[in-house]
Structures are given as structure tokens and as C-alpha cells.
Amino acid sequence: MKILIVGVPRSGTTSLLNSICNFNYLRIGEPYNYSLGTFYKFPLVELEKYKRVCVKSIILESPDNFKGSLNLFYLKWIDNFDRVILLDRLNEEEHLKSFINLCYRIHKNQSVWVNWCYSEIPNNFIEEFKNSKQFSDFYHAKLELQRLSYTANIPITYY
């Protein structure tokens, strides 16, 4: 089975990917997040080579060799999978706080996988963040996931 997980940042995509891959699936995490140093092209050749593949993608990521809209890319890509899971978080306030923490930890070159407390994030960082591109990208990602859900007729799984 070929499984695609598409979600917004901090929605549990990595945890789900890791859990599925415990059942002998080839793991491909964010193949089109080029900031991670990945060099995947579309289409993924691994989907032809392997029967058990689980791919995780963040909704705003797309391959640099695909010409077309983000929604069109995902509509074409999902045809290569047996199962597609769309993930988001239901509590938007908690989700935003988690995303701000992620950005703060990256900004400070700290691990994003440690326990954290929102009160540890300086207020000036939070205020600057609310005027940043990352802040608007957070809401853009949620909107794009909803758009994909609607056009592909795949429900979003919330936690």
C-alpha cells in the first residue's frame, strides 16, 4: 500500500509517518522541502520501485519541477497513492502556539522535539512573529489544506 500524509505544520504528520513506518514501510518525509537538503523530483520514482511506501508532506511544499498551482500538484500526486490522509489541528489557538514554538526553537537553533512551555517564548518574539511571513503562511497552509480537501473530496482528520 502507498500512503500519503498531507498536513499543516505541527499537526502530527511526523508522528503518524513514524508510526506507519514501524510496519515496514519505506519512509519519505517531506520530499519537496528543499530546505532540508532533499533532492526529490516529481514524480517520486520510489512509488514505482516499492509496494509499501509512506510519504509525508506539508501542504505548502511542492516540487520545483512541477509547473502549475499547488492544488493541481496535489490533485495529480494523490492519484499515485492508495490512501491519502489530510491532517490538521482542531484547536487553532493551541496549534498557533505550537507553531510559534517551532519557529522560536528553529530561530534559537534548539531542538524542536523537546518539551516546551509557551511562557518561555519571549513576548517580543511573539509580537514580531505575528507580523511575519511565517504567521501568514500558517493560515495559508490551513486554507490550502481545506481547498485540497474540498477539490479532492477527502475529509480532513483533526486532532
Q: Is the pLDDT of residue 141 over 90?
A: yes
**Residue linked to cell 515496514:** 24
Contact (Cβ atoms closer than 8 angstroms) between residue 62 and residue 73: yes
- pLDDT one-digit tens code per residue, 93-127: 999 999 999 999 989 898 877 888 899 999 999 99
- At 15, which amino acid appears? S
The pLDDT, as a whole number, for residue 159 is 84
Say what the pLDDT of residue 36 is. 85
The structure's pTM equals 0.93
pLDDT at position 151 is 98
